[in-house]
Structure 1
Amino acid sequence: MVVEKEGTFEVNGHSLYTKSWLPDGPTKAKLIFIHGFSDHLGRYYNFFPSLASRGIAVHGLDQRGWGRSVRKPGDKGHTGTTAQVLADMAAFITPHLTPTPTASNSTSTSTSPPVFVMGHSMGGGQVLTLACHPDYQESVVRRVRGWLLESPFISFSPEEQPSALKVFAGRLAGRLLPQYQLKHEVMAHHLSRDPAVVQSIAEDGLMHNTGTLEGLAGLLDRTAALASGEVRPRPGGALRSLWMGHGTQDKTTWFDASKKYFDEFTGEVEDKEFRVYDGWYHQLHADGPDSEEFYREVGDWILARCEEDKPEAKPDAKPDAKPDAKL
């Protein structure tokens, strides 16, 4: 049985919707999840319950400007700058992190579940940007056991690539009217091979496909910095483990860009894995019956690292030998 809990997270005067999926038993790991563009926590089907059923507690929030964190029409897409996006994520992740070991607290981390952070699509690009950002290496990155990226937004797919003129005009307008709201329609039939999922996306009133010029410009800047390798894991090993999964037929974000990034720019990460989902679309968590395979593989990757980190069992201590008793 999985326990679901809803709540709110207060950050800089904003109240964001949160939801957790908790194991009905010992927690082996914690996963902090960041959703994608125009998405929300209610759209991940059985992914989170399946992880929780294996002892992985999942904690997520509807990001600023999205899902149930939108209280009025003017909130739609108001994510703020990239700096604001990263600060929101770091603020949400930090309370879940294990304490930094100290001389007086040297054993506290051994009994605390390791923390993993995962992002999908736009959220994947945000998570990767955070994991590579110099300002968060010690406060966040080093304290996270592993980072997972599902179909990360490193570049548009050829089907979704906007024209250079449209990008230029949008950036120019964004400087003049940063809070101006603009529709960016994501094609539902590009997201999943499952007709029922495609239909539900078209009917979901929380998926408003609206961004601000400021927010959209920030998204484009992040993808450009990732695609060029300007943003990459930093020397020193703060980013310990990285998993990236992408479908070869993704028509929203580009498989080739993710593979190129992984092959060329993740050399600083010793423990890393790129999983190819041949023929799959964008939403690996909602791409038909095959998605159970994705659930299992993500859970396996997380739990394997929990096992690796378990302290080795020490043999039972033998009692000290006693001298022979003298009569």
Structure 2
Amino acid sequence: MAIEKEGTFEVDGHSLYTKSWLPDGPTKAKLIFFHGFSDHVNRYQAFFSALAARGIAVYGVDQRGWGRSVKKPSERGLTGPTSRVLADMAAFIRPHLPSSPADVPAFVMGHSMGGGQVLTLACHPDYQESVVRPVRGWLLESPFISFSPEEEPSAVKVFAGRLASRLLPHFQLKHEIVPEHLSRDPEVRERLVQDPLMHNTGTLEGLAGLLDRTGALARGEVRPQPGGALRSLWIGHGTEDKTTWFPASRKYFDECTKEVKDREFKAYEGWYHMLHADGPESEQFFKDVGDWILARCDGEKPEAKL
């Protein structure tokens, strides 16, 4: 059973909602988690509880502009530029990093938009020593490296959005994500529709930053730095994901992660976008993530699985 604790995290004059799922027993590892677009950490309840039951403490935050960190409608989707997003993430990660060899190892994970953010942070030259190197492993669930064909916006829409973002950065724009594209489980899809915290609203500045990060990853311009600061990487993606694109994740892994000696790509055949909430089979995803983390808690470096 997980011990759940709510709290707040202060950064750059803003108070962000946090929640932790702690083991009811010895802690073997820490996992710092970043959610996806129009999402919030309480939507991962079953996943985080399963990890905590295995001794993995999970620390989540509703990112700026999302979930319970939004105090008024004008804050919906108000993430700031990519530099602000990465600074918020780094600030949240640092207090959970080991301060001595006796501390349990820390891992960082992101889903969808959060997966693209985590990968961008892990590859950013400014954070290699202060954040990336102390983290034992990085995990990506259905990372946003490219749109699926079903969600790809037109070139005209992208161009117009980028231009408008310079003039009206805080202008809000709805981006509806089709629930049927996220999970095969009809009960999960209904809960998504009924969740008042999932507002599907971005700002032009935030959406432009999201597109820029995604484009840089898809083109291979953002990749692990030479020197081995990023020690371990796991990517899991459903082959029938209709929100982010499985082939883009596979291509990125094959072409851009060779600097990472301990790396693994897991294809979930027939699964959709929310691996953590894709029906009863999601328990296998819980096990895969937990196994991967715990295998790296004894200091060993397993062989890469390609």
Per-residue deviation, 1:42: 1.2
Q: Distance in 1 between matches of 2:80 and 2:21?
A: 28
**Aligned residue type for 1:168:** F
Aligned to 2:267: 276
Query: In the aligned structure 2, how far is the partner of 1:159 from the partner of 1:125?
Result: 19
Q: Post-superposition shift, 1:45? A: 3.4
Partners in 2 of 1:148 and 1:155 — Cα distance? 17
| 2:114 match | 123
Which consecutive residues of structure 2, in runs of 5 or more, have no partner in the other structure? Answer: 302-306
Q: Deviations over 1:172-201 (max 9, x none)?
A: 111110010000001111000000000000
Distance 2:181 2:72 in 1: 28
The answer to whether residue 231 in structure 2 is matched with residue 245 in structure 1 is no
Aligned to 2:31: 31
- In our comparison, the structure showing a higher alpha carbon Rg is 1
CA distance, structure 2, for counterparts of residue 199 and residue 28 of structure 1: 35
User: Residue 304 of structure 2 corresponds to which residue in structure 1?
Assistant: none
Once the two structures are TM-superposed, the CA of residue 275 in structure 1 deviates from its matched residue by 0.1
Secondary structure at 1:68 match in 2: helix
Q: TM-score, normalised by structure 1?
A: 0.91
8 A contact 1:45–1:285 mirrored in 2 = no
Letter of the 2:56 partner, please give it. Answer: I
- Give secondary structure in 1 for the equivalent of 2:45: coil
Q: Which amino acid aligns with 1:27?
A: T
* 2:65 maps to 1:65: yes
Per-residue deviation, 1:153: 0.1
The corresponding residue for 1:325 is none
The Cα shift of 1:15 comes to 0.3
In structure 1, which of residues 220, 223, 233 is the aligned counterpart of residue 214 of structure 2?
A: 223
After superposition, residues 1-327 of structure 1 pair within 5 angstroms as 1-99=1-99, 108-109=100-101, 111-309=102-300
Could you report, residue by residue, the CA deviation over 1:223-247 in whole angstroms, capped at 9, with x for unpaired residues? Answer: 0000011000010000000000000
Distance 1:141 1:78 in 2: 26
Distance (Å, rounded) in 2 between the aligned partners of 1:39 and 1:280: 19
3-state DSSP of counterpart to 2:9: strand
Q: Secondary structure at the match of 2:298?
A: helix
Compute the displacement of 1:309 (Å): 4.8
The Cα shift of 1:137 comes to 0.1
Deviations 1:285-326 (A, max 9, x none): 00000000000000000000002359xxxxxxxxxxxxxxxx
- 1:66 Cα offset (Å): 0.1
Maintained 8 Å contact 1:45/1:286: no
Q: Following superposition, which runs of at least 4 residues in structure 1 exceed 3 angstroms of deviation?
A: none
Task: Measure the CA separation in 2 of the matches of 1:208 and 1:46.
Answer: 22
- Structure 1: how far apart are the matches of 2:46 and 2:162? 38
Q: What percentage of residue pairs aligned between the two structures are identical? A: 77
Where 1:232 maps in the other structure, the secondary structure is coil
Q: Distance in 2 between matches of 1:85 and 1:197?
A: 28
State the distance in 2 between where 1:308 and 1:67 align.
36
Which of 40-49 and 151-160 deviates more? 40-49
For residue 93 of structure 1, what is the amino acid of its counterpart?
I
Q: Distance in 2 between matches of 1:13 and 1:176?
A: 25
Tell me the amino acid that sits aligned with residue 296 of structure 1.
K
Output the CA distance in 1 between the equivalents of 2:170 and 2:90: 23
| Partners of 2:271 and 2:220 in 1: CA distance | 26
Are the equivalent residues in 2 in contact too, given 1:114–1:144 (CA < 8 A)?
A: yes
- Letter aligned with residue 93 of structure 2: I
Deviation at 1:98, TM superposition (A): 1.1
